[in-house]
Homo-oligomer: A and B are copies of this chain.
Amino acid sequence: MKIYEGIKLNKDVNTAHLYLQLYKALKELIIEGQLKQGDRLPPIRKMAVLLDVNNVTVVSAYRILEKEGLVYKKIGSGTYISYDSLQKNTTESIGINTIKSTTSPNFLMDQGHIHIEENTINFASATPSTDLFPVEDFKEVLNEVLERDKGDAFGYQEGQGYYPLRKTLKEYISYYGVYTDVNNIQIISGAQQGIDIIAKGLVNYGDYVMIESPSYTGAMAVFQSRGAKIIDIPLKEDGLDLESLEKKILTYKPKFLYLMPNFQNPTGISYTLEKKEKIIAIAKKHNLLIVEDDYLSDLNFYGENNATLKSLDHNELVIYIKSFSKIFMPGLRLGFLVAPKNLYANLLMAKHSTDISTSGLLQRALQLYLEKGIWQQHIKYMEHQYRERFEEMVESINNYMPKEVTYRVPKGGVNFWLKLPSGFSTKELYDRAIKENIAFAPGNLFFLHNSNTPYFRLSIAAVDKNQIHQGIKKLGKIIEIYINKNSKDHNKTNEYTPIL
């Protein structure tokens, strides 16, 4: 095992993710010939213990090596080197060794894009299960569009988006208290692209950008990739810590503040109306641009006020990102921005350099779908479906989670943010749960400084009522065993991020 002890992994968040580091380190050993054709790699668990990382990290690293044909698996026997360093050619030195990774892979996991065994109950994915999608209705509008528009449906669209769709969205968004002009709407290929375009249009290398802590990993990855310096502001129960916000605005003069004020991801927190208004006032005072990511405000189960920041903004301070992924269909890859007039040109140019325009066929189909008014019915249906799951989730947590696990019941959305007793690690819990076919998202994914937090996120998007019941029951037991087994010899001084 001596050869592996030389592997040094940098566990700081701003460097490449652990599994990529491990992959690269192993690849180097293989290419240099220190690991030879036919050698067996250590078993997953042994390697994990040796390097003090998760099993998942090792599995992921081995998987990439396998994809690259450097190793192969023998069922029941292990993973073996298939590469012969004597056949080494010049190309191996190109590429990954000289090219720094510019994006973080954490959010693959946030999106549920991790390899999960077939029969796993998946609380990790925030992506709705496909049986909820309005397929038949959509098929109808697709055919109507093809009949009506013929080849035009497949041409390039205006970069800003298909005009009739923007007109329809102007009306749609007025249901959410946002009154805007057709020209301020920019169609995007999903909310992720919205974040990407905003970063491209507004952020230059070395600029400061502010986020909530914790926040959406996919946004952090984009800002990092632009070379931005990210400043995180702690979240409190009712939204951002305003004192910290104002102080940091003055210190860093950020390009913008990225927020999810309703059913925040990952915490599920909804900002109070009072706090939203204060944030708008602060933005006005300091000329601060706000990017509001409204990924889910439609799923408001308890009828409380969940105004968007954009609806409170009378001074063009907010860029509003609306995704249809959670409510309609993620595979559509459609959403839109409402942007202040003076940013129009920058965002349009960024959109163009990103993918020229969004699929015309899908834009036309969504336009017709919205125009027909079917969406209101569908949202009610989704609300009903999610609410059933939501209530099952609350009940199951109350019934099956050890009382040491704490959380706040969110007011809607799909995410639950739970906390282990302090000193226990959700990474460790993740390793235990995944072995029992339960997946969730460990809290460290969502923090800029990837410390070992006691938080974890359970999402009800991809699991049905029955799975929720079974899954939480099982997870409750796993946690109970983990806590009890460890509490005797447990060191209570273990650090964790002190928020919420």
**Residues in chain A within 8 A of chain B (CB atoms):** 20, 23, 64, 67-69, 89-97, 99-105, 107-108, 111-113, 127, 129-133, 135, 138-139, 142-143, 146, 150-159, 181, 183, 189-190, 192-193, 196, 200-205, 218, 221-222, 225, 227, 255, 284, 287, 289, 315-317, 329-333, 340-346, 349-350, 352-362
Given contacts A154-B329, A189-B355, A332-B359, 6 further A-B contacts (CB under 8 A): A67-B341, A94-B340, A102-B204, A133-B154, A196-B353, A200-B225
Check A68–B146 contact: CB distance below 8 A. Answer: no
* Residue numbers in B under 8 Å from A112 (CB-CB): 156
Check B157–A331 contact: CB distance below 8 A. Answer: yes
Check A132–B151 contact: CB distance below 8 A. Answer: yes
Taken together as a complex, chains A and B put the C-alpha atoms of A99 and B202 apart, in Å, by 6
Most buried by B among A105, A138, A359: A359
A68-B341, A201-B103, A333-B355 given; A289·B94 CB < 8 A: yes
Check A151–B127 contact: CB distance below 8 A. Answer: no
A96-B346, A315-B91 given; A331·B156 CB < 8 A: yes
CB-defined A-B contacts under 8 Å, sample of 14: A68-B183, A68-B344, A90-B315, A97-B342, A108-B352, A130-B155, A157-B331, A189-B355, A189-B359, A192-B356, A196-B353, A200-B225, A221-B352, A333-B358
Taken together as a complex, chains A and B put the C-alpha atoms of A133 and B150 apart, in Å, by 9
Taken together as a complex, chains A and B put the C-alpha atoms of A105 and B354 apart, in Å, by 12
* Residue numbers in B under 8 Å from A361 (CB-CB): 331-332, 362
The SS class assigned to the A binding surface is helix
Check B344–A104 contact: CB distance below 8 A. Answer: no
- CB-nearest residue of chain B relative to A196? B354
Check A354–B354 contact: CB distance below 8 A. Answer: yes
Check B354–A331 contact: CB distance below 8 A. Answer: no
A164 to chain B, nearest CB (A): 15
Stoichiometry (number of copies): 2
From the candidates B100, B183, B352, name the one contacting A67 in the complex (CB within 8 A): B183
Taken together as a complex, chains A and B put the C-alpha atoms of A203 and B99 apart, in Å, by 8
Taken together as a complex, chains A and B put the C-alpha atoms of A189 and B189 apart, in Å, by 9
Taken together as a complex, chains A and B put the C-alpha atoms of A99 and B226 apart, in Å, by 14
A300 to chain B, nearest CB (A): 23
* Residue numbers in B under 8 Å from A360 (CB-CB): 331
- CB-nearest residue of chain B relative to A23? B345
Check A100–B204 contact: CB distance below 8 A. Answer: yes
Those 8 A-B pairs whose CB atoms lie nearest each other, nearest first: A130-B151, A331-B360, A154-B329, A154-B331, A95-B342, A133-B151, A205-B205, A103-B349
Most buried by B among A23, A154, A221, A332: A154
A193 to chain B, nearest CB (A): 4
* Residue numbers in B under 8 Å from A202 (CB-CB): 99, 102
- CB-nearest residue of chain B relative to A289? B94
Taken together as a complex, chains A and B put the C-alpha atoms of A108 and B160 apart, in Å, by 12
- CB-nearest residue of chain B relative to A349? B103
* Residue numbers in B under 8 Å from A201 (CB-CB): 99, 102-103
Taken together as a complex, chains A and B put the C-alpha atoms of A306 and B190 apart, in Å, by 37
Check B315–A352 contact: CB distance below 8 A. Answer: no
- CB-nearest residue of chain B relative to A360? B331
* Residue numbers in B under 8 Å from A69 (CB-CB): 181, 341
A253 to chain B, nearest CB (A): 9
A277 to chain B, nearest CB (A): 17
Check B157–A104 contact: CB distance below 8 A. Answer: no
